[in-house]
Chains A and B, each alone.
Chain A
Amino acid sequence: MVISNRFVLAAVAAVAAIAAPSIAFAAPCGTITLGSAISFTGKYSTNGIHAKNGYDIAVKRVNEMGGVKIGGKCYNLAVKYYDDESTPARTAQLLERLIKQDGIKYMLGPYSSATTKAAAPVIEKYKIPMVEAEGASRSLFNKGYKYLFCVISTSEQYLASSIALAAEIAKKMGKKPGDVKVAMAFENDPFSLDVRAGVIDDIKKHGLKIVIDDKLPRDLSDMSATLTKVRALKPDLLLISGHSKGAATAGRQIAEMKIDTPMIALTHCEAAKIVKKYGGAVNGFLCPTQWAETLSYKGKYFGTAAEYDKLFKATYDGYKNVPYQAAQASAAVLVWKEGFEAAGSLDTEKVRDALAATKMQTFYGNIKFSKAGNNIAKPMVLRQIQDGKFNVVAPAKWASHKVVYPRMAK
């Protein structure tokens, strides 16, 4: 027995000696680990998982294309995730853990403005750069944060383009801007109030008239009182923002109460699946989006927006449409990749400076950060539901279809 044990040990040692160099050859690249505390459970879990899928597909793509090259060395990307349970306080805790215990020096964002708001002070404290793709609140970008970068359009741009569109239509119809009546119903949360602030700026700019300015509660399930007011005051444009619940409630009650406002714009149409839920009743609704697969954006990693769409659907089961939450998450990973290469170093300060100077074209749109860290190179696009399809109608440069006015419910 003793002999045979020794023999086994010797054999193992021999095999290990032969195998060791070959293992080293098989993995010539190092690893850069990005960290993210994101929502896998709780109220943001659906979108949190979309975002994770977006991160993962981009990491895979970057690694397939040879990884990140810094000073002649190559690195594969990897992501270390924690579940923040959709709770901002937890996001902040987990970021501390990622930084202090796990030694992560480069971050990807969480999902939602609320959790990103909790994350930002932590990364500033430790001077750890974060590229985020899911927090759009403009209050993230007026605090002077230096390590926060965001690839998406900020929330005040969400519905602003509908104001320009309404003014343009009024002009064509020979109406004065002051005669265009606008009704607004916005949830009282950071995101929707930002959307509202952007809308108010544009209403002032174009000189339209506000006739209703209601705030919606957080646990909204009924807005019939507001819609009764809409029916009485007959506005030309109705704007609603209240996340998925706002879109679902509005879709249901606008149809039910036969509200015939000629132009209705609201956020979160896709997230609330209003076409599937209400069919023709929501025909003609205008829905802003960060990204759509029909846009003619193009970049070197995924090709066009449509090619990304195809690859994503082939990679993950169960997606009929690729949510923009996933596309922008992928874009954030691409920003990291180019940031590392432009810095030519793994030093967080050098990488931060390189990220700040990012200027790139991607399948998700152009990316260039302002001093505050938000992306100023990509506009928000407005799509209209036309016969159950989301067609881009504004801004004119990217529009594939003409806006139908007045909207016709079917």
Chain B
Amino acid sequence: MLDNLNLLALAPLLNIQLLLDGIFIGAIFALAGYGLALVWGVMNVKNLCQGEYVIMGGYFAWYAGTIGIHPILAMPVAVVVMFGFGWVIYRVIISRVVDKDMFTSLLATFGLAIVIQQGLNLAFGPEVQIAQSGLETRSFFDGAVTVSEIRFVSFVICCVLASLIVLFMKNSRMGQAIRATAQDARAARVMGIDTDRVYAFTYALNCAICAAAGVLISMIWVIQPFYGLTHSIRSFVIVTAAGFGNLPGVILAAFGIGVAEQFGGFILGAELQQATVVGILLLVLIWRQALMSRRRQALA
């Protein structure tokens, strides 16, 4: 471990590589994280199948690749289909648990995650799949730092999607209704907002966002029916660290996690890359607890 720290100090360019990799991949985490923040914040549903939706999105890109269409073109299709899928899932399952206690929604979405995993496994087999972007890699500083173009492209796409979502939330009637429902569902209902429709839309929107993230993930990493869990964990860490209604917070947390994973993987070894994320979550929770107890003392 000390050797690795030493190496980072000796070759500062390595830091740049890790930082860039972390930020590029963090942008994709931000998408899935924001989707979860929506569902959690608006509906109080802790969606444990978040990662499975990401993987489902990835399979759209992979399938497009196998029939000779550029995987990135699968994104609009994936977004639309998954929006519809999310709507159906809401009507069939989530609407029945949305007003129940936390464990009911956890169990329901956990069960859903297993069904989706096995469904993907039956449909596409357990092999690890990838989608090929066909883009090149650029080298900087004599090849000491490399940036693959697809990472950069997906970073840009993430930025565009995030801006679209922000605009939608601010300006559209549905966006406003979602925000109103998040603040106080009962008051929103009194004001004539059909909260059931808002819930359905929010859940469907989350699926669509995850699908977009999945399309990008499949072109950068690898996908497999059982790989959803790590994406779910990341989303949970991001939302827990950032809070619900806080898009800048989500983005910052996602970048932070992306970068922390890369440095964690470098310094502690790839095996502890994921553990770094959970470790950070723990620190954030302890820190928040400390802050809150101080506030409580002040109030008392």
Contact = CB atoms under 8 A, between A and B. Distances in A.
Contacts of A228: 14, 17-18, 21, 262, 266
A64 interface: no
Contacts of B227: 219, 221
Contacts of A294: none
A258 B137 CA distance: 8
Given A249-B222, A257-B137, A185 B270 contact: yes
A231 interface: yes
A217 B274 contact: yes
Contact of B221 (A222, A229, A273): A222
Task: Name the residue in B11, B130, B139, B261 with the highest tally of chain A Cβ atoms < 10 Å from its Cβ.
Answer: B130
B246 interface: no
A248 B218 CA distance: 12
A225 B266 CA distance: 5
B7 A217 contact: no
Interface string A222-251: 111110110111000000000011001100
Nearest to B7: A232
Nearest to A43: B126
Nearest to B21: A224
Most buried by B among A222, A232, A255, A272: A222
B270 A245 contact: no
A214 interface: yes
Interface in A245-271: 245, 248-249, 252, 255-258, 271
Given A228-B17, A232-B11, A272-B128, A188 B271 contact: yes
A240 to B, nearest CB: 11
A43 B226 contact: yes
Interface string A186-205: 00100000000000000000
A214 B230 contact: no
A216 interface: yes
B262 A225 contact: yes
A244 B137 contact: no
A69 interface: no
B126 A214 contact: no
B21 A219 contact: no
A350 to B, nearest CB: 40
Given A214-B271, A217-B270, A233-B7, A248 B25 contact: no
B222 A258 contact: no
B163 interface: no
A44 interface: yes
A230 to B, nearest CB: 11
Contacts of A224: 21, 262, 265
B18 A225 contact: yes
A87 interface: no
A47 to B, nearest CB: 9
B127 interface: yes
Contacts of A217: 270-271, 273-274
A273 B128 CA distance: 9
Contacts of A219: 226-227, 229-230, 274
A223 B11 contact: no
A46 B270 contact: no
B221 A249 contact: yes
Contacts of B264: 225
A277 interface: yes
B125 to A, nearest CB: 6
Given A229-B266, A252-B222, A258 B146 contact: yes
Using C-beta atoms within 8 Å of the partner chain, give the interface range for chain B. Answer: 35 or more
A219 B274 CA distance: 9
A311 B21 CA distance: 48
Nearest to B266: A225
Contact of B7 (A45, A215, A229, A248): A229
Which bucket holds chain A's interface residue count? 35 or more
B121 A42 contact: yes
B25 A222 contact: yes
A42 B122 CA distance: 8
Contacts of B130: 248, 252, 277
Interface string A352-389: 00000000000000000000000000000000000000
A244 B128 contact: yes
B183 interface: no
A13 interface: no
A344 to B, nearest CB: 43
Interface in B222-271: 222-224, 226-227, 229-230, 261-266, 269-271
B289 to A, nearest CB: 29
Contacts of B122: 41
B126 A215 contact: no
Given A214-B271, A216-B271, A45 B14 contact: no
A226 B229 CA distance: 22
Contacts of A214: 269-271
Contacts of B21: 224-225, 228
Contacts of A255: 137
B93 interface: no
A12 interface: no
A215 B265 CA distance: 10
A220 interface: yes
19 contacts: A42-B126, A43-B126, A45-B126, A185-B270, A214-B271, A215-B270, A215-B271, A216-B270, A217-B270, A225-B21, A225-B266, A225-B270, A228-B262, A229-B7, A249-B221, A255-B137, A258-B143, A258-B146, A271-B127
Interface of B: 4, 7, 11, 14, 17-18, 21, 25, 121-122, 125-130, 132, 137, 139, 143-144, 146, 148, 221-224, 226-227, 229-230, 261-266, 269-271, 273-274
Interface of A: 41-46, 185, 188, 214-217, 219-226, 228-229, 231-233, 244-245, 248-249, 252, 255-258, 271-273, 277
Given A222-B261, A248-B130, A252-B130, 14 more contacts: A46-B126, A214-B270, A217-B274, A219-B274, A221-B223, A221-B224, A222-B270, A225-B265, A245-B128, A245-B222, A252-B222, A257-B137, A258-B139, A277-B132
For the complex of A and B, the 5 pairs showing the least CB-CB separation, nearest first, are A225-B265, A215-B271, A225-B266, A221-B221, A248-B128
